[in-house]
Amino acid sequence: MKGTILHIDMDAFYAAIEQLDNPRLRGKPVIVGGGMRGVVSTASYEAREFGVHSAMPIFQAKRLCPRAVFVPVRMSRYQETSRRIMAFLNTISPVCEQVSIDEAYLDITGTERLLGDPIALAKRIKEWVREETGLTCSIGIAPNKFVAKIASDWDKPDGLTMIRHDEVEDFLDDLPVTKLPGVGKRALKTLEGLGITQAGQIRKLPEAILTKKFGKFGRSLLELSRGLDPSAVVSHGEPKSISNENTLGEDTDDIEILMKTLAAQSETIGRRIRTHGLRGRTITLKLKYSDFRLVTRARTIDGPTNSTKIIRDTAFELLKNEQLRSKVRLVGVGVSNFQSSARQLAFFEKLSIEDERQSRLDMAIDEVSGKFGRDKLKRGR
């Protein structure tokens, strides 16, 4: 299963709007920023040639490009344009996720018959943006969010880059590791210590070395270097996590009571996840002790799930691993890290007989709860 994800990102967004509204600024280095923090919000592409970039102190930008025009941030003006663009993108696909003021992902997997070929669609989006807002954007098309984002950045400004499934690894070969999500100063140093500066080099490392150096993140690095990213495009209004918690009638350290509460919560969460058609990989246990100290413990499981039993059993395990230091006043469980539909299907095909049985049971319980109310039917432990 291969997805088709678009990443749309406006070019030099704030600066481009300033140049649009004030024709005298067009073609000139324009730096938007200042204010309380005294940093550059963004710079026009003309100013970037002098080395000016977002988050740089204004005084430094002045030094690099003294003849630039400095303008203050006009947030409401940018927001108004942003809202129009996002509303338009939402009309193309309901699976649209806005990730910042000027960028969004669209999941158009399986919509070719409806929306036409992805490149033609991307061209139509660029045209609409230019005509309706007077601005340019760059679009990346790829099998998943991570690669789509790298692709939109590839040919900025006014770019359009499509990376097909079988081109992903080649495309990422020379990518500087700093472009990988999660690689900050510390990871960069470790990677450099291994002689690694490009994504393609990570792919050639044994996984054992990566996990030794980076722990769990090592595995993510390997997946990213292969261009794999299972994360779903989450539409606005769709939850990023689903959780349930209760303050107990009385503080307790009785593990049976805690488990009973977790079981009921897992039941509710499982039903809500299934209603949304989601499957999540990370299960989180939340405990608040009687002194209000809050702890959360999370576990990421191999395959995304919507099964009440898996959610409940993972929560139980997290609870059992926790040394209760005092009585507990609140307990809760949550599911997050929802995965993309392509990945969901791939996983679904591999459902074991036991999974299948649990899944039928979940559906049956959902149906009865829907008809007769929530508390009519509960599974035994």
User: Which residues does residue 198 pair with via DSSP β-bridges, in sequence order?
Assistant: 176
Supply φ then ψ for residue 310, to 5 degrees.
Answer: -65, -40
d(Cα 84, Cα 79) in Å, to the nearest integer?
9
Q: Which stretch binds ligand TTP (CB under 6 A): 5-13, 125-133, 201-209, 349-357?
A: 5-13
Q: Which stretch binds ligand TTP (CB under 6 A): 95-103, 204-212, 225-233, 341-349?
A: 95-103
Q: Which of 99, 220, 118, 235 is nearest to 165 (CA)?
A: 118
Closer to ligand TTP by Cβ: residue 15 or 285: 15
Q: Does 10 bind Mg ion (CB under 5 A)?
A: yes
DSSP structure class, residue 376: G
> 167 with 52: CB under 8 angstroms?
no
Closer to Mg ion by Cβ: residue 10 or 141: 10
Closer to ligand TTP by Cβ: residue 17 or 191: 17
Q: What single-letter amino acid sits at 154?
A: W
Q: Does 98 bind Mg ion (CB under 5 A)?
A: no
Among 18, 46, 97, 102, binds Mg ion (CB under 5 A): 102
Using CB atoms within 10 Å of the CB of residue 203, give its burial: 0 to 12 exposed, 13 to 18 middle, 19+ buried.
middle
Among 18, 46, 97, 102, binds ligand TTP (CB under 6 A): 102
**Residue 11: left if φ>0, alpha if ψ -120 to 50, beta else—which one?**
beta
Q: How far is the CB of 29 from ligand TTP (least distance, A)?
A: 14
Among 20, 101, 346, 351, binds ligand TTP (CB under 6 A): 101
Among 34, 157, 239, 303, binds ligand TTP (CB under 6 A): 157
List of residues 6+ apart from 380 with CB closer than 8 A: none
d(Cα 197, Cα 3) in Å, to the nearest integer?
28
Binders of ligand TTP in range 47-76 (CB under 6 A): 54-55
Q: Does 9 bind Mg ion (CB under 5 A)?
A: yes
Q: Which stretch binds ligand TTP (CB under 6 A): 20-28, 97-105, 221-229, 253-261?
A: 97-105
42 binds, among Mg ion, ligand TTP, none (CB under 5 to 8 A by kind): ligand TTP
> Which residues are catalytically annotated?
103
List of residues 6+ apart from 104 with CB closer than 8 A: 7, 8, 85, 86, 89, 96, 97, 98
User: Chain-centre distance of CA 285, in angstroms?
Assistant: 21
Q: How many helices (H) and strands (E) does the chain have?
A: 16, 12
The SS3 assignment for 167 reads helix
Q: How far is the CB of 290 from ligand TTP (least distance, A)?
A: 42
The pattern of x and - marking residues 9 through 48 that bind ligand TTP according to CB under 6 A reads xxxxxx--------------------------xx------
d(Cα 278, Cα 180) in Å, to the nearest integer?
26
Closer to Mg ion by Cβ: residue 97 or 267: 97
Closer to ligand TTP by Cβ: residue 148 or 269: 148
Q: What single-letter amino acid sits at 349?
A: E
55 binds, among ligand TTP, Mg ion, none (CB under 5 to 8 A by kind): ligand TTP
Closer to ligand TTP by Cβ: residue 78 or 316: 78
Among 156, 271, 309, 343, binds ligand TTP (CB under 6 A): 156
Does an H or E element contain 268, and which? helix 255-275
Contact residues toward Mg ion (CB under 5 A) are 9-10, 13, 102
Contact residues toward ligand TTP (CB under 6 A) are 9-14, 41-42, 54-55, 101-103, 156-157
